[in-house]
């Protein structure tokens, strides 16, 4: 066997395992997304915008404190090419335990004061303190979860996510029916986090033994600190809704923004799955630039193909989605829905490019872009708020900064791995625009209730598929044919 053939085989094996990972995640989580969609409808109908406006800053604050305590050890463990030794895993667990214990103590003691300052109101302190339990238990998740992800065993991770989703909506809807108000969401978040952590531990048992040899963390912290810095900057950019909006506009307008953000993000199911697989997959082929480029272009194109019809349906039926499915109380959020849909439509490009850059070791570039991105978003939001734009300021700032980030990341991707994307996205975008216009101008007068609205959305998706095939049939046949041949060869 030649050297070239020898290197191609592992790469093909990695690609096949990554593909199976995406398929496994899609099959297992696809049904759960329907459950989540139904559960969200129930929660939005049972609870008020103010309830969501209270829970969002609480959950965000707890998550942000947890991120500060992470140091990127989880992602560093995934990204490294060499298989970690047992002593290194124990050092990672020990370091993570110390950091997360401190984070849980901060949430327990200072969390209520922080949240009260964000909301400009005094709420029950235990709404915040209970999150400390979920944070503390998350220590035991990092090693087994990262090992599963390194080995592209996403089926087990998907099972853990399914467990968390089922617990979230069972607890949330159950307590909401019992008129528990915002406590329904708090208990749902905490119980889901604990259940998911326990499921990961059960799926990949590992003895969490501490060690004093923390110097073994040094190579992991080197990558992880830069990676986590980029993540924290992007988290601060996304904090306009959970942090800026409650302080600037109050709980109810924040709840409206939460609804718009949640609904506009529904089409991103496949993007989330692909992003999850991308870090370990591209890390395994980071020394093969041609493979990185080809895989990146196909990943981004097919993300566009599967997400754009959802955005077309949202654009066509936005007000009807609010009134017929979620309830009249969410109609004031429709303008935010449209703006945030623009933001969400650009997420696959920026999200996957930053993931790929991290995977190939360009964490310093991601960190620089993320810091500038976060500053830009906050400056726009503050300026628009001062100009009297109101709660839409946060939505506009997110969409505008997302668009500016595309203008920065695309040239970086072109320079680092020769990404050429525009020609691959034009036809899917054209098909989505035409399908959305047809839905709005032709189908909308026929959609008089929620059932017909769902059917109308499905018709928009089918129309999109037909238009895309007509516009791009040659490339689609070639790409699907190559995928099928690889699958048949692997089988």
Q: How far apart are the first and last CA of the chain?
A: 21
The radius of gyration of the chain from alpha carbons, rounded to an integer in Å, stands at 23
280 — pLDDT class (breaks 50, 70, 90): low
Contacts of residue 481, Cβ cutoff 8 Å, sequence gap at least 6: none
Helices (H), 285-333: 289-320
Percent of the chain residues past pLDDT 90, beyond the cut: 40
Residue 69 has pLDDT above 50, yes or no: yes
For 113, half-sphere exposure in the C-beta direction (CA atoms, 13 angstrom radius) is 4
**Res. 341 pLDDT band, cuts 50 70 90:** very high
Hey, what are 433's tokens?
A: 């625009």
Closest to 280 in 3D by CA, of 74, 8, 7: 74
Q: In 3D, which of 364, 355, 417, 361 has the Cα closest to residue 80?
A: 361
Give the mean pLDDT of 293-315. 87
Q: Contact at 8 Å (CB) between 133 and 79?
A: no
Report d(CA 452, CA 129) in Å as an integer. 44
Q: Do residues 54 and 61 touch, judged by C-beta distance below 8 A?
A: no
pLDDT score at 7:
41
What is the mean pLDDT of the segment spanning 333-346? 95
- Residue tagged 């993007």 (tokens): 271
Separation between Cα atoms, residue 334 and residue 321, nearest integer Å = 9
Nearest to 191 by CA among 205, 172, 177: 172
Residue 296: Cβ within 10 Å count = 25
Phi, psi of 141 (to 5 degrees): -90, -30
Q: For residues 69-86, give the mean pLDDT.
A: 71
pLDDT bucket at 170, cuts 50 / 70 / 90 = very high
| pLDDT at 152 (0 to 100) | 67
pLDDT reported for residue 4: 40
CB atoms within 10 A of CB 464: 25
CA dihedral over 45, 46, 48, 51, signed as positive or negative: negative
The pLDDT of residue 20 is above 80:
no
Tell me the C-alpha distance between 338 and 314, whole Å: 8
Mean of pLDDT values over 323-335: 93
Q: What pLDDT was estimated at residue 388?
A: 94
pLDDT in tens, 462-485: 999 999 999 988 888 887 776 666
Q: In angstroms, rounded to a whole number, what is the distance separating the alpha carbons of residues 361 and 372?
A: 20
Q: Between 488 and 77, where is the model more confident?
A: 77
pLDDT one-digit tens code per residue, 237-246: 888 999 899 9
Contact yes or no for 142/150 (Cβ under 8 A): no
Which pLDDT band holds residue 2 (cuts at 50, 70, 90)?
Answer: very low
Q: What are phi and psi of 132, to 5 degrees?
A: -60, -35
What pLDDT is attached to residue 46?
92
| Per-residue pLDDT reduced to its tens digit, 194-239 | 999 899 888 888 888 888 887 777 777 766 667 777 777 888 888 8
CB 113 within 8 A of CB 65: no
SS3 label, residue 343: helix
Please give the mean pLDDT across all residues of the chain: 84
By CB neighbour count within 10 A (0-12 exposed, 13-18 middle, 19+ buried), where does 302 fall? buried
Distance CA 186, CA 189 (A): 5
What does the alpha-carbon distance between residue 296 and residue 279 come to, in Å, rounded to a whole number?
A: 12
Q: For residues 481 and 103, which has the higher predicted lDDT (pLDDT)?
A: 103
């Amino acid at each position: 066997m030649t050297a070239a053939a020898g290197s191609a085989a592992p790469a093909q094996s990695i690609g096949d395992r990554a593909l199976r990972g995406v398929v496994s995640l899609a099959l297992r989580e696809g049904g759960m997304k329907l459950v989540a969609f139904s559960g969200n409808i129930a929660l939005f109908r049972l609870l008020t915008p103010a309830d969501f406006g209270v829970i969002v800053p609480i959950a965000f604050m707890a998550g942000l404190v947890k991120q500060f305590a992470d140091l990127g050890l989880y992602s560093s463990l995934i990204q490294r090419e060499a298989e970690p030794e047992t002593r290194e895993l124990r050092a990672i667990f020990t370091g993570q335990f110390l950091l997360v214990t401190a984070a849980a103590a901060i949430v327990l003691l200072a969390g209520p004061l922080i949240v009260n300052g964000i909301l400009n109101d005094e709420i029950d302190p235990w709404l915040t303190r209970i999150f400390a339990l979920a944070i503390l238990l998350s220590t035991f998740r990092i090693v087994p979860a990262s090992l599963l992800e390194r080995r592209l065993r996403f089926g087990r991770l998907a099972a853990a996510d399914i467990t968390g989703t089922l617990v979230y909506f069972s607890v949330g809807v159950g307590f909401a029916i019992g008129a528990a108000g915002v406590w329904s969401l708090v208990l749902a978040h905490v119980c889901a986090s604990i259940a998911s952590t326990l499921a990961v531990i059960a799926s990949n048992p590992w003895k969490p033994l501490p060690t004093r040899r923390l110097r073994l963390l040094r190579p992991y912290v080197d990558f992880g600190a830069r990676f986590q810095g980029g993540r924290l900057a992007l988290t601060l950019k996304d904090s306009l809704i959970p942090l800026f909006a409650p302080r600037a506009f109050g709980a109810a307008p924040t709840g409206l923004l939460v609804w718009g953000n949640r609904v506009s993000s529904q089409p991103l199911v496949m993007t989330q799955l692909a992003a999850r697989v991308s870090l370990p997959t591209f890390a395994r082929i980071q020394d093969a630039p041609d493979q990185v480029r080809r895989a990146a272009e196909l990943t981004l194109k097919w993300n566009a193909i599967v997400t754009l019809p959802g955005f077309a349906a949202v654009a066509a039926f936005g007000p009807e989605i609010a009134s017929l499915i979620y309830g009249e109380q969410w109609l004031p959020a429709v303008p935010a829905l449209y703006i945030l849909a623009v933001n969400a439509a650009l997420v696959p490009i920026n999200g996957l490019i930053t993931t790929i850059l991290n995977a190939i070791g360009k964490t310093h570039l991601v960190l620089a872009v993320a810091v500038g991105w976060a500053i830009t978003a906050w400056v726009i939001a503050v300026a628009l708020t001062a100009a009297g734009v109101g709660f839409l300021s946060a939505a506009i700032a997110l969409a505008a900064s997302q668009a500016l980030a595309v203008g920065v990341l695309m040239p970086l991707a072109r320079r680092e791995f020769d990404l050429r994307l525009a020609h691959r996205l034009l036809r899917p975008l054209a098909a989505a625009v035409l399908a959305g216009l047809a839905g709005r101008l032709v189908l909308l007068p026929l959609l008089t209730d929620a059932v017909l609205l769902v059917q109308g959305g499905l018709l928009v998706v089918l129309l999109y598929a037909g238009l895309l095939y007509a516009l791009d049939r040659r490339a689609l046949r070639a790409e699907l044919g190559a995928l099928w041949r690889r699958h048949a060869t692997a089988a």
